[in-house]
Amino acid sequence: MSLYKVTTTFALVMDKPKILSNLLGILIKDNIIEVINFYDNWAYFKYKDQDAYTHSYNLAELSKEDLLKNDESDKDDELCGLSPSMISKDIYCDNNKK
């Protein structure tokens, strides 16, 4: 199993590896899925606890470097939800000191 990222605007999630099967949902660009296997040009994965398929041209395999970059950017994003008083440090300035 490997992690893949959706590279197209959207990717259809089907219940069988063919375009004329039932639509289960839609993945959007930058969604990450864990692909279990490939059948011809279809990626097999679990979607909401169901067997699912999407066309492989919608996907790009994530490298270890990509995963590390995502982890680092997630750490930066943790500050976005905090109020300014929680992330800044008050600085006392004494103008009388020389």
**Mean pLDDT across the stretch 24-37?**
97
CATH code that applies to domain 2-87: 2.30.30.40
Is 59 within 8 Å of 30 (Cβ atoms)?
Answer: no
Residue ranges with strand state E in the chain: 2-6, 10-14, 23-28, 32-39, 42-47, 50-55, 59-61
**91 pLDDT exceeds 50?**
no
**Mean pLDDT across the stretch 78-97?**
49
Q: Coil, strand, or helix at residue 36?
A: strand
Neighbours of 33 (CB within 10 A): 21
Statement: the pTM of the whole predicted model exceeds 0.85:
no
pLDDT number for residue 50: 97
Residue ranges of domains in the chain: 2-87
